[in-house]
Amino acid sequence: MIDAFQYSLPTEIVFGFGKLDELPALLESYGVQRCVLVCDRFFAKKGAELLESTAQICAVFDDVEPNPQLSGVEETVRLMKEQNADAVLALGGGSAMDTAKFAAACAKSDRSPAEHFDGAPFGEKGAKIFAVPTTAGTGAEVTGVSVISRGGEKKTTHHPSFYPDVAIVDPALTLTVPPFVTMITGLDAFTHAIEAFWSVRHSAVTDLFATEALRVILASLEDAFRTGSKEARTAMAYGSLLAGLAFSAAKTAGCHACSYPLSMYHHLPHGEACAFTLDSFIRMNADDRLENLAKTLGFESCGALANKIARLKELGGLRARFSQCEGELDLDRLAQESEAHMLMRNNPKQFSKGELRAMFEKLL
Ligand code: NAD
């Protein structure tokens, strides 16, 4: 029997190779008059071209950093107020999208972005959000989440106004992603999908998105890494989007809970930090439901699926042991902060601090 569920998504999704060409028409159909574009340095030239060619784009902030800082949000809000902007367009990975989402929520607020970062409630959405992902990884184009850092303090904020109004998923934009970033962002998407599947908040509809995301990603990630072909990139963009649709409702769990201290103390990029414990959690979370999923995906067991993840990490050159990482190792602190993270409550099995410490000890 199907358990009761609720699923909503306020985002219009436009998917397809070359679909960024429809941007001016989309901005027009949403009544946008003045839009600020947000990107990182890699897309600075493309941002300048869009400023030149798109009537509604009035200014560009092109200095988003990976693990985006609050200062980038502040600069975007300053530009939006100066320009009297009614929309923000993010062109980039999760870092650009999260900056734009947080800025849109602050754009018409009397409070500063720092006050909102510290917990001041958001009021009415200050601007429309157009999200254009350029990595196949975060799914941030369809989530009501923004992850922003102030110095070393990385904070996840959830708010309904963070959902983009429009997601333009154009796989052509991912053709330039270097192989290492292809692998870590691809494994981030895989982690979203499997964590949505095993989350205690999963439902029939998120299972559907998650299972198909896992199938598509397993079939295309290695090819996207090795050849970067148009077909593999398109499949990965689709798989990442499906994973986003799954975890936007079901949320993530243990791997993401551990990723926060791993990024903070060992400076791993987000996708690599999630992948660091991914194969461990597949083994530790294994139960009848997960064994069935592994079989559906063409593996003999959860162990075989975990081995596949370990091989992909090795192929991509990801760090898989603490001996390969920078930063001072403190297993007690890692176990304590991972166990205390709110996302750990979504994990299908509740592990004690001691059990998480034992998991980390196997990764020395
Ligand atoms: P990113 O946006 O930080 O980009 C990583 C690197 O890839 C950057 O150097 C960027 O310039 C480069 N890059 C991006 N697209 C490129 C392209 N097409 N060609 C060449 N280089 C390109 O990476 P990300 O993994 O997409 O995002 C990570 C961030 O997203 C983290 O801060 C993470 O916490 C957050 N996140 C947010 C959500 C959400 O729902 N809001 C979900 C997962 C992760």
Domain positions in the chain: 12-173, 178-361
Give helix then strand counts, H and E, for the chain. 14, 8
Lining ligand 1 with CB less than 6 A are: 40, 42, 66-68, 92-96, 98, 134-135, 137-140, 143, 145-147, 173-174, 176-177, 181, 185, 188, 270-271
Residue 296 has pLDDT above 90, yes or no: yes
Distance (Å) from CA 310 to ligand 1 centroid: 22
Orientation of helix 179-198 relative to helix 302-316, angle to 10°: 160
pLDDT tens-digit readout, 226-237: 999 999 999 999
* Tokens matching residue 319: 């760090």
Ligand 1, pocket-test mutation among 9, 91, 134, most atoms within 8 A of CB: 134
What was the pLDDT predicted at 316? 98
pLDDT, mean over the chain: 97
Q: How confident is the model at residue 14 (pLDDT cuts 50, 70, 90)?
A: very high
Which residue, by CA, sits nearest to atom 42 of ligand 1?
A: 138
Residue 281 has pLDDT above 90, yes or no: yes
pLDDT of 152:
84
Q: Please tell me the residue having the least CA distance from ligand 1 atom 44.
A: 138
Q: Which residues of 128-145 are buried (b: 16+ CB within 10 A; e: fewer)?
A: bbbbbbbbbbbbbbbbbb
- Count CB-CB contacts under 10 A for residue 101: 30
Amino acid residing at 304: A
Give the contacts of 97 (CB within 8 A, at least 6 positions apart): 90, 131, 133, 138, 140, 141, 164
Question: 19: which DSSP letter?
Answer: G
The model scores a pTM over 0.95? yes
- Give me the architecture of the 178-361 domain, per CATH: Up-down Bundle (1.20)
Q: Is the pLDDT of residue 94 over 90?
A: yes
pLDDT in tens, 203-251: 999 999 999 999 999 999 999 999 999 999 999 999 999 999 999 999 9
Q: Are 53 and 75 in contact (CB under 8 A)?
A: no
CATH code for the part of the protein at 12-173: 3.40.50.1970
- The atom of ligand 1 lying closest to the CA of 244 is 40
User: 25 with 178: CB under 8 angstroms?
Assistant: no
